[in-house]
Chain A
Amino acid sequence: MTILAANEFQWDYHGPMLWTAIGETLQMVLVTLVVGGLIGLVLGLALYGTRRGSMFENRIVYGVLNTVVNIVRPIPFIIFITAVRPLTLEVIGRSLGTAAAIFPMIIMCVMATSRIVEQNLVASDAGVIEAARAMGASRMHVLLRVLVPEQLAPLVLGYAFLFVGVLDMSAMAGAIGGGGLGQFALTYGYQRYNDYITWIAVAVMIVLVQVVQQLGNWLARRTLHR
């Protein structure tokens, strides 16, 4: 007789699926971080630049951007995925699968990144801005070529922090057939009472986070000259 195979990891059965899941997770996370991170950087610069007292102070632009970010950010990601489904269908062409999961992930990542960029730039030294302006640098030059390099170390750490958030989001991609470690853990672990699978998925995620955080710390150290 066969008992439901609880708490075991069968290499020939689970192994290939685990590899596929890791691949899907990395794909979702990296695409999201690169695309969302870049757009988020631009949005963050816009937020910082148009803030009250900042170089491009503009109450209307800041008000709009700030409100949009504030509206999107608190929505639980699992709800957000389903809420933007029509838009996903429009942009990606499908509402299921890995690509369909990446779209809402990018939007959420843009919002989170923009806040991290804004916060880090707000913390920059006003004296440095003044010095660059006194030398005749344009406002855009100060923003892109002075402030971003000056705040590079905290920005790098911010992106490492984002990685964890994006990894978290990717786990929920399973809800719309996005695959990845989250779906693997839920489908073959939780739903089949196989805790081993869940724990293995968790362990892989922990390792991923550790590696990325170490990488971030190392990069930040390299760029921090204080």
Chain B
Amino acid sequence: MSATPAPTTGAAPGTPIIRFTDVTKVFGRPRRGAGDKPSRRRGTTVGLPATTDGRIARTGGVVGGGGMGMVIPDGPVDVPETDPGTSSGQVRAVDGVTLEIERGEVFGVVGYSGAGKSTLVRLINALERADSGRIEVDGRDVTALGERGLRSLRADIGMVFQQFNLFSARTVAANVGYPLRLAGWSRIARRERVAELLDFVGLADKARQYPAQLSGGQKQRVGIARALATSPSILLADEATSALDPETTRDVLDLLRRANRELGLTIVVITHEMSVVQYACHRVAVMEQGRVVESGPVYSVFADPQQPATQRFIQTALHDRPGPDVVERLRERHPGRLVVVTLQETGRSSIELTAATRGLDVTANVVFGGLTEVQDRPFGSVTIELAGPGTDEAVARLAQHASITDLGTAVAPAADPRWEQGARS
């Protein structure tokens, strides 16, 4: 698929459709009847020590929320107020999150397995109930809704899943028609709407097939059609592309972008792949150990990542900055001064090297780098080797026009400050 421009923002900015206020969700707390989703209940019911402010002590180590629960080493993280770990089996899957998602935007939530992003998104349609804090969706207070209120809320929130979760005993058409049946649509109205939806996702010819007869990408299209059936205003995509190959991922993301653009749908995309955020999202929140450690417009997060976790994620998408081991290898062949030049959001779409070297006795070789598009604006960096008497002057000129990181020479090396922070990955 071609990289068609992403919409900047689908609707008027500044009107939140989803608002989290200091929301916390703890797994493993002794609790009765609150969960209606057995598969995600985990941890043991053990008493837990409370911190002085009356909240539950934070758990280091295993963090729940994703499919598996992954061990995240405790290390030097500049996350504010990191509570000490406990060994009680308690997991703060979502920890004091405050967040606003605007109407009509594609909002990405990125984090490693177990960072709490799956739990966060399930709080929106109350598949998980928050332990504290407030969640508003389209003006409704989700935390206060009962079973009946939840059902009408959920009819307005579509959801797609990593494993598609289609009904294997129903045909494609019956899968897509299922939420319409729940909503009480007549058979004739259903048939018409299902045909329309299958047309939208490009599967009109598969209506009578069963999910098992479809490829992964086709299954996810059915999942999306099903999620869109009742014309919800919000779509939650939980790792919707993580089980798909890159090409199919692109197709599915294009479909989501089209739904956002043409239907004005607000989409929350959960992913561990920064490339998905880069391609499809307007804004992004980075989660780590149940907290949102950084959030903002995708381009500015990419251009100026504040947190080590964010920097690591961006590197997984771009691979544009050389790591310490790469630099070591580069120095063997390139004894000159290595400088990483970043293409920033300054209106220009290229890195001009001639201006920096004009009239100077210096050679400039591109030795490493990667340029791509983020939010349809060029982004990335190149690492160049400068050699010759005019090197110092060239570096000074570069620094005036672009954001640079000076790695020094083989004789007098300097480190990229991001290595230090990213070292614990």
Could you tell me if A134 and B167 are in contact, using CB atoms closer than 8 angstroms?
Answer: no
Given A55-B38, A57-B33, A127-B39, also A149-B169 (CB < 8 A): yes
Q: How far is the CA of A152 from the CA of B167 in the complex (A)?
A: 12
B41 touches A (CB below 8 Å): yes
Interface hits, A101-157 → B, CB 8 Å: 125-139, 141, 146, 149-150, 152
Q: If A130-B127, A137-B182, A225-B211 touch, does A55 touch B36 (CB 8 Å cutoff)?
A: yes
Which one of B157-165, B266-274, B358-366, B379-387 is at the interface? Answer: B157-165
Cross-interface CB contact of B39 among A130, A137, A149, cutoff 8 Å: A130
Interface size on A, residues (CB 8 A): 27
Q: Is B339 an interface residue (CB 8 A)?
A: no
**Inter-chain contact B169/A131, CB cutoff 8 Å:** no
Cβ of B112 under 8 Å from chain A:
no
Partner of A131, one of B33, B38, B159: B159
CB distance from A28 to the nearest CB of B (A): 32
CB < 8 Å neighbour of B154 from A53, A55, A134, A146: A134
Interface band, chain B? 35 or more
Cβ-defined contact, B167 with A150, below 8 A = yes
A57 to B38, CA, bound (A): 9
Query: Which residues of B have CB within 8 Å of A127?
Result: 39, 161, 163, 165
Task: Please give the distance in Å from B27's CB to the nearest CB on chain A.
Answer: 13
A54 on interface, CB distance cutoff 8 Å: yes
If the complex has contacts A136-B155, A225-B169, are A53 and B36 also in contact, measured as CB distance less than 8 A?
no
Q: Provide the B15-54 mask, 1 if CB < 8 A to any CB of A, else 0.
A: 0000000000000000001001111110000000000000
User: CB-nearest residue of chain B relative to A134?
Assistant: B159
The reply to whether the CB of B170 lies closer than 8 angstroms to some CB of chain A is: yes
Contact B36 A150 (CB under 8 A): no
Contact call B37/A149, Cβ cutoff below 8 A: no
Whether, in the assembled complex, B144 has its beta carbon less than 8 Å from a beta carbon of chain A, the answer is no
Contact B179 A135 (CB under 8 A): yes
> Which B residues have a C-beta under 8 Å from some C-beta of A?
33, 36-41, 125, 127, 147, 150-155, 157, 159, 161, 163, 165-170, 178-179, 182-183, 210-212, 226, 236
10 A–B pairs (Cβ distance < 8 Å), ordered by A: A126-B37, A126-B38, A126-B39, A127-B163, A129-B37, A130-B161, A132-B167, A134-B157, A136-B150, A137-B182
